[in-house]
């Protein structure tokens, strides 16, 4: 399957270090223990001291004619469609997490400040260690597509799937309230809370409560669990995901603050995934324990038949289809990755272009917010030209600006500085998941555009680097002319009020604050204004877009 990889690609796809590891901060572990004590521990204390509480499932009210009975076709379809999409989202999300396998509550992502990590590697302090090196191998049985440095393909699956998952959820909720099925899920009395606890005490102490027939009734704990999955987990997953978008975070700073900050949103997004996994495991276990054949008939063919195996066969068929699609998705990922890139661009690229890409960044952060650590990324230039320029502190550097412009120019750093200085303190969002706040000072790209006067047909600005791409070749990326004209879009020669360090992109790097970090080209050597991105490189708008199947528009 992987014979189409060249030697450089195989080295990255199949790293030697494939160790599995999980490290959790002691404080996080203490919180987990406290939560267990407050739930399972409290249930056992009550059982030992007072015995089992009254089982509310033993006295469920009699059904009225208006109460729901069974599961209509639309609900069964929505249930299984939700299962399929959720598996896809979780597997692709795990691959995304593996590209920066550290979770934080702080927005600066300093090494050793993570509360949870899935890598045994400690960031070395005796050399430059890039964020790209920190990516981990993930077995394709677990992750979609699996293998290190596949975040572009993983994001394609994730963002192809998410809109349909949300659409399925919206349709489900609308039909829920247009029918009497809402009565199954929505509690109408606060009595649901003590009743749920009483049922939980039974389960936690290994005593099965009276199991109501799910075709007609859910017990209190089932009802509140299903309600939480639909009306709490799904919205939190959506809002925390949105909070990681640079276009949204840099325009609506209050949204990530719902979770503390951007990294808090990422951690909550992960915890929601764990909650979904826990729910799936417990839900399936209870379906099996309380009558697999009967329960499968309930949810697949809407009958309360404890003997017929029709529902079981249909359910197993759907599960086998999901597994088979996982194998197909893996094959598509490595044999037809361009089809994924095209599909994702058609769905989300179009959506983002017409929505969040229109947001204009707003300054928010202050000097006190600057991160003490800022991850390094990208391959340092190795060309003799750049080495000589760096050795002379870039005094001989000339930025070439041309293409379809009326006034092409070549400008030294001193000449660029004479054109003006704009200083912004912003949050950098890496596609891998880490973030950092820094001050950037340089020339507003709007000023450069006004100087060179692009032709009216120009839509694209190309930034070429002295550095190379992951698999060699000149690194470049493109931005729309519209994004280059947005506030806080600059050519930076300054970082944190000092000359831009070599490892962060000297002599120049671009900052377009509604985009992800891979669009912020470092070590810039020239800029071109073009009518389209389709005639440079492989035609996808950037080196990572060409080779790693990243998004052309990187708003989220």
Beta bridge partner(s), residue 58: none
CB neighbours (10 Å) of residue 124?
A: 10
pLDDT in tens, 355-370: 999 999 999 999 999 9
Q: How far apart are CA 369 and CA 372, in angstroms?
A: 9
Start-to-end Cα distance in the chain: 31
Residue pair 476/464 in contact by the 8 Å Cβ criterion: yes
Q: Which residues contact 517 (CB under 8 A, 6 or more apart)?
A: 377, 428, 429, 430, 431
* Peptide bond connecting 145 to the previous residue in cis, omega within 30 degrees of 0: yes
pLDDT band of residue 12 (cuts 50, 70, 90) is low
Q: Which residues contact 123 (CB under 8 A, 6 or more apart)?
A: 111, 112, 129, 134
Give the whole-number percent of the chain exceeding pLDDT 90: 81
E strand or H helix at 318:
helix 310-335
CB neighbours (10 Å) of residue 361?
A: 24
Q: How far apart are CA 78 and CA 403, in angstroms?
A: 52
pLDDT band of residue 13 (cuts 50, 70, 90) is low
- Residues found in the chain: 556
Q: How far apart are CA 226 and CA 270, in angstroms?
A: 20
pLDDT band of residue 135 (cuts 50, 70, 90) is confident
pLDDT in tens, 238-267: 999 999 999 999 999 999 999 999 999 999
Q: Position of tokens 């600006």?
A: 401
Average pLDDT, the chain: 92
Evaluate if residue 2 carries a pLDDT over 60: no
The predicted model gives 318-323 an average pLDDT of 96
The predicted model gives 6-30 an average pLDDT of 77
pLDDT in tens, 265-307: 999 999 999 999 999 999 999 999 999 999 999 999 999 999 9
The pTM score is 0.93
Domains and CATH numbers, the chain: 74-99+137-178+319-359 (no CATH), 363-547 (3.90.420.10)
Give the whole-number percent of the chain exceeding pLDDT 70: 96
Question: What pLDDT is stored for residue 148 in this prediction?
Answer: 63
The predicted model gives 517-535 an average pLDDT of 96
The predicted model gives 313-342 an average pLDDT of 94
Evaluate if residue 522 carries a pLDDT over 90: yes
Q: How far apart are CA 522 and CA 525, in angstroms?
A: 9
CA 373 remoteness from chain centre: 22
Question: What pLDDT is stored for residue 62 in this prediction?
Answer: 79
Evaluate if residue 217 carries a pLDDT over 90: no
pLDDT band of residue 1 (cuts 50, 70, 90) is very low
Q: How far apart are CA 150 and CA 120, in angstroms?
A: 20
Q: Tell me, letter by letter, the H, E, C secondary structure of 107-144.
A: CCCCCCCCCEECCCCCCCCCCCCEHHHHCCCCCCCCCC
Q: 244 — phi, psi (to 5°)?
A: -90, 0
Residue pair 381/467 in contact by the 8 Å Cβ criterion: yes
What's the DSSP call for residue 437? Answer: E
Evaluate if residue 138 carries a pLDDT over 70: yes
């Amino acid at each position: 399957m992987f014979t189409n990889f060249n030697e450089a690609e195989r080295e990255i796809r199949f790293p030697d270090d494939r160790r599995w590891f999980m490290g959790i901060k002691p404080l996080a572990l203490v919180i987990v223990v406290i939560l267990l004590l407050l739930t399972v521990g409290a249930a056992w204390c009550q059982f030992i001291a007072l015995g089992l509480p009254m089982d509310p499932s033993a006295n469920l009210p009699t059904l009225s004619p208006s109460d729901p009975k069974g599961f209509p076709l639309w609900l069964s379809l929505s249930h299984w469609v939700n299962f399929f999409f959720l598996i896809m989202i979780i597997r692709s999300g795990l691959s995304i997490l593996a590209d920066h396998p550290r979770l934080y509550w702080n927005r600066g992502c300093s090494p050793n400040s993570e509360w949870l990590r899935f890598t045994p590697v400690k960031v070395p302090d005796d050399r430059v260690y890039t964020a790209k090196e920190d990516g981990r191998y993930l077995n394709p049985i677990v992750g979609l597509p699996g293998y290190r440095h596949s975040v572009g393909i993983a994001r394609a699956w994730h963002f192809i799937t998410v809109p349909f998952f949300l659409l399925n959820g919206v349709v489900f909720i609308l039909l829920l309230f247009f029918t009497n099925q809402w009565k199954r899920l929505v509690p109408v009395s606060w009595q649901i809370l003590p009743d749920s606890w009483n049922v939980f005490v039974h389960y936690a102490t290994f005593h099965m409560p009276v199991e109501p027939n799910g075709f007609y009734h859910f017990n209190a704990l089932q009802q509140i669990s299903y309600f939480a999955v639909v009306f709490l987990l799904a919205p939190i997953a959506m809002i925390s995901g949105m909070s990681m978008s640079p276009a949204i975070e840099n325009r609506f700073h209050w949204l990530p603050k719902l979770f503390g900050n951007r990294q808090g949103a990422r951690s909550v997004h992960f915890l929601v995934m764990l909650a979904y996994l826990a729910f799936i495991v417990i839900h399936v276990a209870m379906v099996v324990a309380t009558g697999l054949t009967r329960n499968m008939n309930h949810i697949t063919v809407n009958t309360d038949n404890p003997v017929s195996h029709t529902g079981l066969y249909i359910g197993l068929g759907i599960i086998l289809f999901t597994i088979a699609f996982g194998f197909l998705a893996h094959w598509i990922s490595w044999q037809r990755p361009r089809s994924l890139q095209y599909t994702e661009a058609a769905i989300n690229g179009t959506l983002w272009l017409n929505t969040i890409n229109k947001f204009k960044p707003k300054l928010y952060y202050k000097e006190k917010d600057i991160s003490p650590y800022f991850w390094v990324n990208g391959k340092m230039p190795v060309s003799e030209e750049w080495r000589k320029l760096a050795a002379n502190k870039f005094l001989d550097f000339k930025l070439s600006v041309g293409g379809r412009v009326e006034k092409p120019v070549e400008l030294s750093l001193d000449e660029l500085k004479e054109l003006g200085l704009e200083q912004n303190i912003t949050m950098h969002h890496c596609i891998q998941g880490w973030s950092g706040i820094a001050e950037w000072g340089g020339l507003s790209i709007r000023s450069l555009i006004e100087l060179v006067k692009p032709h009216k047909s120009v839509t694209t600005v190309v930034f070429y680097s002295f550095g190379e791409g992951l698999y060699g070749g000149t690194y470049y990326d493109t931005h729309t002319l519209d994004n280059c004209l947005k506030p806080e879009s600059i050519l930076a020669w300054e970082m944190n009020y000092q000359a831009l360090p070599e490892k962060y992109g000297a002599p120049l790097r671009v900052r377009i604050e509604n985009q992800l970090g891979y669009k912020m080209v470092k070590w810039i050597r020239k800029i071109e204004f073009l009518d389209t991105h389709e005639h440079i490189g492989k035609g996808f708008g950037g080196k990572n877009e060409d080779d790693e199947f990243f998004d052309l528009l990187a708003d989220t």
